[in-house]
Structure 1
Amino acid sequence: MDDVLRPLYQERASYPHTIGILKIDQKPPLSTVAECFDTVLLTIVKEAEQALLIKHYQYEEQLAALHIVTEKQLNEWILLGSNRKVIEWINTGIIVYDRNDYVHDLKRKLQDGDFSGRQIRMGLEFAKLVKRYMEGKVFFSKKQYLDAYHEAVHALHHLARLAVFQKGLFPEITVWNQLRELEPEIYQLYKELLTSNESVEQKLKLLFLASEFLMHSQTKTGSSHLLNVLSQRECWSIAEMNEHPELQYYGVDLNMLISYLVEKKELEVVKAETKGKQLYHRFYRISSTTP
């Protein structure tokens, strides 16, 4: 298969906008690394009309896929964690073309956790953790245990990825294998949630108690990016936050995070009068008690 594909990636390597190509092979006996293909070619380009272009090929009984992605799109995936499969491809793929060591340096940065936007990514994971946790608690209070269980599992995944970032590493798709050694306390929580013989209600009750403690311990680190941005001026409206280029990444999770930080006294509310009687605009600023 490699002999068949070599002219394809050699042609791509000759294009002036191509800055790197990785080859990802399916690993026997079974693997999801290359999805349902025997080989994936990940081609990174400086710019293109489309942020992502995918082509499928077949040679006899073997399948191959060519993914052409712009550097901008790739950086967005890394920053937002919205395509973790590509991160695994970068980590495990074989470099077949590398202009000015671009791919080599990218691999090193991901493996060392030394990539641009690490603080933002930690903030995004914490925001998602808070949202999932709070929504899970609401479902639990209404005795909607299966929905609460669903939110709790997602909350633990965000907690796990945040913990990996704090260790200076980049979360892999198999994040729980990383957590087994890095943060056994969080790993044990996840294992108990899945394997314990307790009722779903009892498992969730214990999980929410433990998660609340762990969330509290992560608040300073998880909110540091947001608080750094908010320190740029005295007060912010929620609309102004949503318009900030870095805070736009938080999306719908921002409202819940702001409410949580007000509750934890990391932020405080500033009220401003409106024309309506006893109706106030609500602004936010860093708490005077926050160091």
Structure 2
Amino acid sequence: MKLAVVGATGLVGREIIKVLEEKQIEISEFYPVASERSKDKVIIYRNKEYKCITPDDLLTKDIDIAIFSAGSRVSEIYAPLLADKGIYVIDNSSQWRMYKNIPLVVPEINPETITKNTKIIANPNCSTIQMVLALSRLHKEYKLKEIVVATYQSVTGSGMKGILQLASEKKGELINRYYPHPIEQNCLPHAGDFLENRYTTEEMKLINETHKIFNDYSIHISPTAVRVPVIGGHSEAIHAVFEKDLEIKNVYDILNDTPGVKVLDKIEEFVYPMPIYSRGKNEVFVGRIRKDLFDDKAINIWVVADNLRKGAATNAVQIAEYIMEKM
């Protein structure tokens, strides 16, 4: 396979390269792609040095798959140009997610939406991926009716600017301000940009992307997205209401059988998912599983995942693996 990583010097781009190395995917030609200012910067992949090229340079290369993580503008310009050449583009930005003819894919849930004629495939938002994966098999069994979710999102979701603000505040410095308020020892009920409906872009992604991935627009979703001073992963408190009565043992069995999900739920031993534990791991971790005290059709769960891994890089690489195998 001949593969390019667009945005190779960024947080997610570097993580994509790590995941490719860990999975030992056979790549005959590898192209790290970055902006003009990072051209010729050296990237190490499987103990070999590669110099970064620009997106314009990439247009002259013969490749099979390009994984994009360089922002919406780069994806808007270059993804169609590569797709027109028959190259599969896996895009981590929000640019293409809600286009009707472009699949929004979590490989454990809806890989069949990728076809030979599908050349641009959208990677969902990080907080969406972990939520839908945790609920996917339960949805098949009991049919989701409503989701109320509060997210506790790592500063890594904001890129290096968020990380640098937290790091500078930990040192007592007042530089590198990215968020409108301090993030150290604070929680901001404000992840993403505010919209006219008073929700944020991160919150609307949870609604719109979940509907598209499940191909079910009847589910009521009420999200609140919070930015927290954590490096390592996103956490979510999820209240899910279904159309059928739940058997809690069956809920455990279904979650244990859900691909990509790992149950950590031994409260007597204080075992439950935490972002510090999820860092660098590819699974979605689920714990604090309990039936609602007032509704036999509802459960409450706590879901944690590394937003740079399954929330971005790992999911994208899994899509690439699916294309390699099936297309």
Taking structure 2 as the reference length, what is the TM-score of the superposition? 0.29
Higher relative contact order (CA 8 A, sep 6+): 2
Q: Greater helix share, 1 or 2?
A: 1
